[in-house]
Amino acid sequence: MKESLLDILKGKFLVSDEAVKNWRFIIFGSFLAIVMIASSHSADKKVHDIARLNDEVKELRSEFVDTRSSVQKLQFESYVRMKMKPRGLTTSKTPPKKIRVSSQ
């Protein structure tokens, strides 16, 4: 038991006659570890991108609501009347009439 542990610590399993089998396994294990690490980094990057995009969507939605409310205020008749008062424009006392053109 003690000798086999010392052999492993000294690395004799890498230079012995059966080393080809060990090297294949070590290379395969290293390759799998690299693939697993790369996959993990890719997944983490996607999670961070999704979180950033969700924050951006919330910001844009908030900006849209603010802009829509300010545009709705601009459409009110009282707002338009107030803005046109300095120019001398007032609302008409008579309602508008439809003009119909009949084709001959």
pLDDT digits (tens, 9 = 90+) for 29-43: 999 999 999 999 999
* 37 falls within a domain: yes
pLDDT confidence bin for 64, thresholds 50/70/90: very high
* 103 falls within a domain: no
* 82 falls within a domain: yes
What pLDDT is recorded for position 2? 78
* 102 falls within a domain: no
Total residue count of the chain as it appears in this document: 104
What pLDDT is recorded for position 29? 93
* 104 falls within a domain: no
* 101 falls within a domain: no
Q: How many domains does the chain have?
A: 1
Nearest 5 degrees, angle CA 10-CA 15-CA 16? 105
Strand, helix or coil at 93? coil
State how far the Cα of 6 lies from the Cα of 16, in Å rounded to an integer: 14
Q: DSSP assignment, residue 53?
A: H
Most confident of 1-10, 19-28, 70-79: 70-79
For residue 19, give every residue at least 6 positions away whose Cβ sits within 8 Å of its Cβ, in sequence order, or none: 13
* 31 falls within a domain: yes
**Max Cα–Cα distance, the chain, nearest Å:** 116
CB 83 within 8 A of CB 90: no
* 61 falls within a domain: yes
Residue 48 belongs to domain spanning: 2-87
